[in-house]
Amino acid sequence: MQKNDTIRIINLPKIEDERGNLSFIEEDNHIPFHIKRVYWIYDVPGGEFRGSHAFRESEEFIVALSGSFDIIVHQGIEEKKFSLTRSYYGLYIPKLVFRRLENFSTNSLALILSSTLYNEMDYIRDFKEFLTLVK
Ligand code: TYD
């Protein structure tokens, strides 16, 4: 898959038959990075939000495996909202994007594929610092 820095919805394969549906993700094929880490967010209380940070290096691909939630992204100019409501597509987020996950439905499950191992030093948690960095 061609590398580019655009935040974008990526559609995944959806194999349908009478037994139900199956989708899958292959690194370098459906998403433009090597997968170093997988984590998931679940049991989010109503009204709670997650994220509220950017990464210096990490790229991520986020799928709503179950339920739905919104992802608010900011690259330095304006906010944009993506609603994830089905498990056969996801949102690709390149590095240096401030993001917030919110509006989680009951029993929603967010699957996140990351291009890096966990490293707290990769986080930019201060929005003003983020803006300074991307300008
Ligand atoms: P954080 O990334 O701040 O959560 P979110 O962005 O979903 O709101 O992570 C919450 C805590 O979990 C923080 O103490 C770091 C830890 N953590 C790990 O140890 N490994 C990981 O892969 C992730 C994503 C978080």
What does the pLDDT look like over 17-51, one tens digit per residue? 999 999 999 988 899 999 999 999 999 999 999 99
Q: Looking at residue 135, what is its pLDDT?
A: 87
Region of 96 (left: φ > 0; alpha: ψ -120 to 50; beta: rest) is left
Q: Looking at residue 1, what is its pLDDT?
A: 61
pTM of the model: 0.96
* Residue ranges of the chain with per-residue pLDDT less than 70: 1-4
Ligand 1 in reach of 40 Cβ (< 6 A): no
Ligand 1 in reach of 42 Cβ (< 6 A): no
Length of the chain: 135
Q: Which residues, other chains included, contact 107 with Cβ-Cβ below 8 Å and sequence gap of 6+?
A: 66, 67
What's the 23 CA to ligand 1 centre distance in angstroms?
26
CB of 85 within 8 A of CB of 68? yes
Q: Looking at residue 14, what is its pLDDT?
A: 98
Q: Looking at residue 2, what is its pLDDT?
A: 59
